[in-house]
Structure 1
Amino acid sequence: MSRQVLQVFEQYQKSRTQFVQTVAELASRPQNIETLQNAGVMSLLRPLLLDIVPTIQQTAALALGRLANYNDDLAEAVVRGDILPQLVYSLAEQNRFYKKAAAFVLRAVAKHSPQLAQSVVDCGALDALVICLEEFDPGVKESAAWALGYIARHNAELAQAVVDAGAVPLLVLCIQEPEMSLKRIAASALSDICKHSPELAQTVVDAGAIAHLAQMILNPDAKLKRQVFSALSQIAKHSVDLAEMVVEAEIFPAVLTCLKDPDEYVKKNVATLIREIAKHTPELAQLIVNAGGVAAVVDYVGESKGNVRLPGIMMLGYVAAHSENLAMAVIVSKGVVQLAIALSEEHEDHIQAAAAWALGQIGRHTPEHAKAVAVANVLPKLLQCYLRADVSEDLQTKSKKALKNILQKCVHLPALEPLLHDAPPNILKHVVGQFSKVLPHDSKARRLFVTSGGLKKIQEIKAEPGSALAEYINTINNCYPEEIVKYYSPGYSDALLERVEQYAPKV
């Protein structure tokens, strides 16, 4: 009889094991999720988390994690099913395999929304996860770090809760561990904490993170470098002090070599880091210039496409905005040419808007700067962006501002000439204004203005009497003999023909 009883229990255990393994396997394929959900899989898995057999507990947790990871509805079902408190309790009690599976469920729930992440916090998960960061097993540390990062990424309040639980010093220890995947996840979690505010970034800095991150910028592992550069840029973006601390870790010029990295995400994150440092002060921008950073970023903009190009474009704009000398450094490094190409090549409005803004920052300083931008045939392209029928508000605003910035300084008339024929009144005023500045003092320019059709075009413009535009036209007309102005005025040829018809020859 006892043998029969044992067989029943063995069969029961075998069935539970088979069930939970099959569910975990099915849950790894998206096409099965809805069917599993409709079959009430959550309520069947929950008691298996408390099973006396450890492998059944672990596999049940893995299955729940896969389900919760799929979408927020299933993650909410995990919360409603009161499964989280059981997982948190088990994190402290069970073996390393279970701990990894439980941390995976917490991460899978937290990732979807701030509300779901808050549910994970509310059930006391943070303290349990932080304790897991002190485990001997690197896999447990990694799972815990991953869950903490997913909680922290949503907003400053959740990130602060992670900090208050004591996670930061332990995450900084994790980036020093030999296991590559643990380093990556810990750096990613630190980045997720830093991004929200200067105060949170300062907490990470105070734990000594910068020095350890800076040591890894030339690590051969691309996935690690992605996270390292992301974390450093999330620190540097907040303030001058934080950016200076990153620079003081002697990341230049070594960091510039990573702009040529084969991994696109590494390159983009490096360009973002350089942008975040350059934007703060002329001194930080100059430091980057001195290290060869502008030339390296210009090459990067030339070699990249789409959103990967964007941080490089922005960095050149920030550098140029600081001063005449820094804008000239961008010009000398052939930055205008690459920005002009980006403006023409890119199809996304937000990337074109960034290129337009950067060109405006270069051209606004002096006539020399404006000429460097104008001769790259940028003005007609900017005008085209501004006038496009389907243009976004951002691109329209930035291209208009860039045009005005450049036009206010541009006295290179050949580059301005095409705008006389195409520009709408609000831009035309600035174009004509520049001609009225140059023509009175330059006889060669006056001659060219006539032969190119500029003077004729000026006579066709209908300006409000007494307006600035009317004043500019007056100034230009006063540069020429009255009969020349008359000759190019609308209707003059008709008037001449009429006089020919009316003329009575003396025979």
Structure 2
Amino acid sequence: MAEHIEDHAKLYKNVAKGEQDTSRRRRTEQTIELRRQKRGNALNKRRNIDPNADYESESTDMEKYVPAKFSCTLPQAKELLLNNPSQDTLRKVFEHIRRLLSRDKNPPIDEVVNEGLVVALVQALGYPDEKVQYEAAWALTNVVSGTTRHTQAAVDAGATVALINLARSTTNHALADQCFWAVANIMGDCAIFRDHAIDCNVIPVLREFTDNIQSLKATLARTLSWVCSNICRHKEPQINHEQMRAVLPAIGNLLAYDDQEVRQDACWALSYLTDNDDAALEIVLSANLLSQVKNLISSNVDKMVAPALRVFGNFVSGNDRITQVIIDTEILRAVMPSIMDKSGVVLKEACWMLSNILAGTVPQIQAVIDAGLVPKLVCALECGEFKVKGEAAYALSNLALSGTQEQVYTLAQAGILNAVAKLLNVRHVEFLVNLLTVVHAVLNSITTLKPDVLEVYKDEFEAAGGIDFVEELQNHENQKVYEFCYEIINNYFFQNDDIENDPNMAIESPVFRF
């Protein structure tokens, strides 16, 4: 438990003083990896598993190829390819290999690699027949959807550069799409293979296509957006600043494409780039993409709202100047009130974003208050699922630590004491520390600003069961929890004359016995 607390504490960075040294934060390494791994299970690599699909040339002067029934073992396929096969044989063999690799269950990727057929597939990319090229690209796509060992075999055979060159040279968009799909799978495996693809000029070729994105069909645009996502996805290491500058125009063009899936993946790509230091955030800011990201938040489509909130949340984890740029987009007043009425992952991302703003300057905290978002954070704390409650607690704790007495008092006005009292039975240390931080700060602000109503708020907290929980938590093993509880009771609820003035308590005189 202690290790977990320490890890999560590293989420925070402070732009203020004292206890605020842990306030504004970027997500922990562990959290990012878990989030990316969850997404990666679906998106890092994709297999093309439609075994009934046949190649159809986009060229109007080429007759549709009608495949003949053909079957052979992989060793037999290898033997055929080694003996000067005809074009018709090449078509049949590579289509057969592709169909085997497109099985929904147990595709024979190991067998294809072990037979040395990956080299043949790469060689086929250079054969002057689009049907052969397409089948080979599709088969390679499914080979590199496998393990790192499978992907390494394709990389070692020269697949990456061959696929990129074919995507650039062909006029057939279906073939280019399949080549990009395979390259995306290669890059999705690990940062080493991503860097290899970048060395093979994937970004300039990607830019050639995205510069004309509006003329492309949605299927190809979606693949290109996913390629962008995999270029930006890996964190250890992230792409360098020069590479960021090169890929940002592609992301901007994809964000402008009228397709939800394209915009969604492009925004995830941007979220990976902005999970970075301030220098990288400045580079992304210079690309002037904030209005497009804000539009995604306004879309009311959760799958687009979530990555867009992540982008803005990453920005406001930067320095105060960068945070102010985000506030100046008017997102707090124009968009966030409706977002805070959502639930699940969208609300969690929104609370996280606000928690970073609330660790900022006094004017930045006031911008959140003026947008009417404090009551919505209290509501999220009360009614959200636990992950939402956790992020809301961080946000409210940051306000309590970073705000002025007047700003902290807005928490009392929003009913925070009643909300917190009902949650102090949760046995989660970070959560408890954040809640007790809020209680202590709010009671202090009331004492300073509105001492005449202190008893009213104390009664509210006590009536909701808060003081009972606080008394019990004095026995908590965590030192911070104990200290907060002791201070709350000692400063606001302990009365020295309780025993003296109790008429039912008689003080017995000592009986001396000699």
Corresponding residue number in structure 1 for 2:467: 420
Q: In structure 2, do the counterparts of structure 1 residues 215 and 175 end up closer, same or farther at CA, with 3 Å as the change threshold?
A: closer
Which SS does the other structure have where 2:211 is aligned?
coil
Residue matched to 1:354 = 391
The residue that corresponds to 2:370 in the other structure is 332
Work out whether residues 125 and 162 of structure 2, in 8 Å CA contact, stay in contact via their aligned partners in 1. yes
What CA deviation, in whole Å up to 9, does each residue of 1:44-103 have, x standing for no partner? 666677863154245324303313x645x7433332332211111111114223323322
2:177 corresponds to 1:142:
yes
Aligned residue for 1:495, secondary structure, equals coil
Match of 2:18?
none
- Tell me which amino acid in the other structure corresponds to 1:139: A
Distance 1:172 1:201, change over 3 A: farther
Residue 164 of structure 2 contacts residue 201 of structure 2 at CA under 8 Å; is this kept in 1?
A: yes
| Deviation, structure 1 residue 384 | 5.2
Looking at structure 2, the residues matched to 227 and 326 of structure 1 have their Cα atoms a distance apart, in angstroms, of 30
Q: Aligned partners of 2:376, 2:146: CA distance in 1, in Å?
A: 39
1:172 to 176, 187, 207: 207
2:507 maps to 1:486: no
TM-score, normalization by structure 1: 0.72
1:281-430 to 2 correspondence within 5 Å?
281-296=319-334, 298-347=336-385, 349-365=386-402, 366-379=404-417, 381-382=419-420, 385=423, 387-388=425-426, 396-410=428-442, 411=444, 412=446, 413=454, 414-415=456-457, 417-418=461-462, 419-423=466-470, 424-425=473-474, 427=481, 429-430=483-484
Larger RCO of the pair (alpha carbons < 8 Å, separation 6+): 2
8 Å Cα contact 2:393-2:434 kept in structure 1: yes
Is the aligned partner of 1:103 residue 2:114? no
Q: CA deviation at 1:382?
A: 4.8
Aligned equivalents of 2:81, 2:339: Cα separation in 1: 52
Do the aligned partners of residues 117 and 359 (structure 1) sit closer, same or farther apart at CA in structure 2, a change above 3 Å counting? farther
Q: Distance in 2 between matches of 1:385 and 1:164?
A: 53
Counterpart contact for 1:343–1:355, Cα < 8 Å: yes
Does the residue aligned with 1:153 lie in a helix, a strand or coil? helix
Q: Deviations over 1:89-118 (max 9, x none)?
A: 111114223323322222223234333322
Deviation at 1:235, TM superposition (A): 1.8
CA distance in 2, matches of 1:223, 1:41: 39
The 3 A distance-change label for structure 1 pair 259 and 93 is: same
Is the 1:420–1:428 Cα contact (8 Å) retained in structure 2? no
Among 252, 259, 263, which residue is 2:297 paired with?
259
RMSD after superposition: 3.3
Question: Out of 241, 244, 254, which is 1:205 matched to?
Answer: 244
- Residue 196 in structure 1 maps to residue 234 in structure 2: yes
What corresponds to 1:156 in structure 2? 191
Q: Report the Cα distance in structure 1 between the residues aligned to 2:406 and 2:151, rounded to whole angstroms.
A: 54
Aligned residue-pair number: 412
Q: Secondary structure at the match of 1:97?
A: helix
User: What amino acid sits opposite 1:97 in the alignment?
Assistant: K
Structure 1: gaps (5+ residues) = 1-22, 28-38, 440-453, 459-475, 500-507
Aligned to 2:359, the other structure's residue is in SS state helix
Separation of aligned partners in 2, 1:102 and 1:379: 65
Alpha carbons of 1:312 and 1:137: their partners in 2 closer, same or farther (altered >3 Å)? same
Kept after mapping to 2: 8 A contact 1:49/1:56: no
Contact 1:360 1:405 in 2 (8 A): yes
Counterpart-to-counterpart distance in 2, 1:293 and 1:260:
9
Matching residue of 2:119: 85
**2:307 corresponds to 1:269:** yes
Q: TM-score, normalised by structure 2?
A: 0.71
Q: Per the alignment, in what secondary structure is the counterpart of residue 441 of structure 2?
A: coil
Amino acid at match of 1:195: R
Shift in Å, 1:286 = 0.9
CA contact (8 A) 1:364 1:408 kept: no
Instruction: Provide the secondary structure at the position in 2 that maps to 1:493.
Output: coil
Q: Is the 8 Å Cα contact of residues 210 and 254 (structure 2) preserved in structure 1?
A: no
Residue 495 of structure 1: which of 496, 500, 506 is its match?
506
Partner of 2:92: 56
Larger Rg: 1
Tell me whether 1:133 sits opposite 2:167 in the alignment: yes
Matched, 1:124 2:158: yes
1:237·1:276 contact (CA, 8 Å) conserved in 2?
yes
| 241-250 or 50-59, which deviates more | 50-59
| Equivalent residues of 1:49, 1:60 under 8 A apart | no
| Cα distance change on mapping 1:220 and 1:206 into 2, 3 Å | closer
Identity of aligned residues (%): 18
Kindly state the Cα deviation for residue 402 of structure 1 after the two structures are TM-superposed.
Answer: 1.2
Match for 1:104: what amino acid?
W
Q: Within 2, Cα distance between the matches of 1:122 and 1:84?
A: 10
| 1:433 equivalenced with 2:487 (yes/no) | yes
* Aligned residue identity for 1:422: F
Q: Which structure shows the higher helix fraction?
A: 1
Does the residue aligned with 2:388 lie in a helix, a strand or coil? helix
